[in-house]
Structure 1
Amino acid sequence: MKSYPYLKTLFQKFSAGSIRQDELDELLSYFDTKENQSIPRRLIREVLNDEHSNEADPDMDKLLHQVKLNLRYQILPPRRKLLKWYPAAIAASILLAVTTLVYLTRTPTVNIPRPETTATDIMPGGNKATLTLANGVVIDLAKVKHGTLFQDQDVHIEKEQTGTIKYVRGDSKSVNNELAFNSIHTPNGGRFQVILPDGTRVWLNAASTLKYPQQFNTETRTVELTGEAFFQVSPNKAKPFIVKSNGQEVKVLGTQFNLNTYMDSPFTFTTLQEGSLLVTNIQTQTSLKIAPGQQAVSGQGKLESVKVDALAFSSWRDGIIVLNDATLDVAIPQIERWYDVQFVIEPGLSKVQLSGELPINTRLTELLAALSTHTGITFRIEGRRIMVKK
């Protein structure tokens, strides 16, 4: 174990943005260990000039989590990080218990403008969803405790202690080829994870619906999606996994990919992280095979692939929206879905460009303050409506 003064030096270099990659890895190892959390807590307290000197401070766990999040995202492959941050960014983010941006480039000291507000501040959503069974019964998954939700001879549906919904094959030895469909729907501000009958894991983003059979008894494992989801498909060469969405079909054997197919967008984006998959545009009956690090863009009679940072398109699972030269009218719908709010944008502002990483584990006012600092745009919160003007 390295000496405390050495670790303190690493943490100071991290706060100043001058830490090397190997030092970053070493520092994260100390923050990730469960054996001796007193060292990271002491480092945080000292950076804050003892403002959090109480070891039992209930905010300390949040602060610790935030620093680890910053460390992990700094270790990720380089991305364009152009949304501006401030001197002593890490100390400021710890002090606030949230970051308005994740360890981004720094600019000279500025006063962070707070959005005008006429209502209580708004926090992002969490694990909220409804499960609709084949018999029409609707279950509010945010309200039920862990345990068995449904059970018959063919399938058991369980809610794990982590909150994940899991399907387990029942005791019946017979094969019933008549499919009984379930669906999970997340509202604005909701997210959820489900383990399908074949072991495939699906993370649903806000305002999304996944329809799937209680059992995969046919020659394919076919599901339907609207919205956005990340799929970690369980391999089965004899039974391909197929995702049907808005005018598109994705066929995989075993892979990890993100599928963005919101109805308010004319395009569907399929981003491959591992393995391979075949994307078919139903309208044109054209197909395209993509490799890791590629994205298939389908819509308006076209199907093409582009090279992308695949992790950037699935970072929402970790509470981060990554923007790469995205215009305001592209970024805003994502924020609307996470916070269940509506933006009203003044004409002429929709094409303002943004690049960087927006953490969605923070209050709406803090998020809008960062956007305001970067763009000069004014935000006014009126209930769940945000007025945007120059």
Structure 2
Amino acid sequence: MNESVESPSSSSSSSQPVDQEQLFPCPAATAPRKPVQLQERRGSNVSLVLDVSSLSLGAVEPLCSISTPKETLLHLLRTLTRPLTPSQLQEASDETSRLNSEYQKIPPNFVNPAELDIPGRALKDRYKTILPNPETRVRLRNPAAEEGGNTERYINANYIKGYNGAPSAYIATQGPMLNTVHDFWEMVWQEGSTTIVMITKLKEKNEKCELYWPEKDGSYGRFEVRVSIVKECDGYTIRDMIIQVGSENRQVRHYWYSTWPDHQTPDCTGPLLRLVVDVDEHRQSIPSPGPTIVHCSAGIGRTGCFIASSIGCLQLQHTSKADVLGIVCKLRLDRGGMIQTSEQYQFLYLTLAQYSRQLGNTDSGSESPGPIQTIRTTGTCSDRESPAKT
């Protein structure tokens, strides 16, 4: 991935990204100096004579403050934006070359392992380069910790802000490993989450995710998990589960979108849009749903696509505009590398362009909040009494 922090060049069109020369103006050129005198004699070292008389202390006033590279990248992620109307969004979704250029210039904001000095952390990371950003990482309480012992358990997961900056609307995490399944269910319980979205197969060339739910009943550490109902939908499967600890039990709905290929994009946008709508409808039906937990394998590519699509659909519904560039930048503030490939970035534009067409291309925003509009293209869900084979 190109980690350049330059932004796409500006133009008069309102659909252009912000020109970074406006955000970070280049210092004006100082008065020309006298020619540098370079004296070189055979048998001697090269000597360089510079005229520094114009650089006396106090003679030059600084033009702008100097920021560290990290601060500059974070400033870009906080400020880059490109809100588009439905017609602009549909036009932009066809500009493959430009979208690729736009994507390549978004800072990835990956984490340096030195920022996470946590004993045993590496054993719980599926990929050594995909790490949770320290500022937003989920910290698991350790219910078994003795007094004075370690009260925190590590998990590779981040809280993600939702539409309009809603705090902790989502949790983006990696696919559970054999030694982190208990941690995963601990996070579901601790955060009061009622919705899990899984966008990966269990194996794609190599293992992508450990099977962390039972066919019918199973135990995972202190948690008893039972699958009650399975619904087969077009492109994904829904499982209603009951999690129990002691005498307390909670219901969780699990969505498994298993047809999205790794590092690639689906053939059409329909299944993803239906999944986005179904998940939002389910959340709207629950008084306190907790964060929606989303994972693929690494927890940044397909996970980022789902979360960005959800936020973009809400933007289109409430404001009649979608800011794909701004959404991805904000996601990467919370978890580095969200939206893993240029193809996924382009697919995100296509998905939101399709949603805007289904909304009717309205240009007037809506002030009242509400669920994402139910849009059905093809496909239905069918209930079955026994869980599907995995």
TM-score bracket for this pair, using the shorter chain length: under 0.3
TM-score normalized with structure 2 length: 0.28
Structure with bigger helix share is 2
Structure with bigger strand share is 1
Structure number with greater CO (CA < 8 Å, separation at least 6) is: 2
TM-score normalized with structure 1 length: 0.28
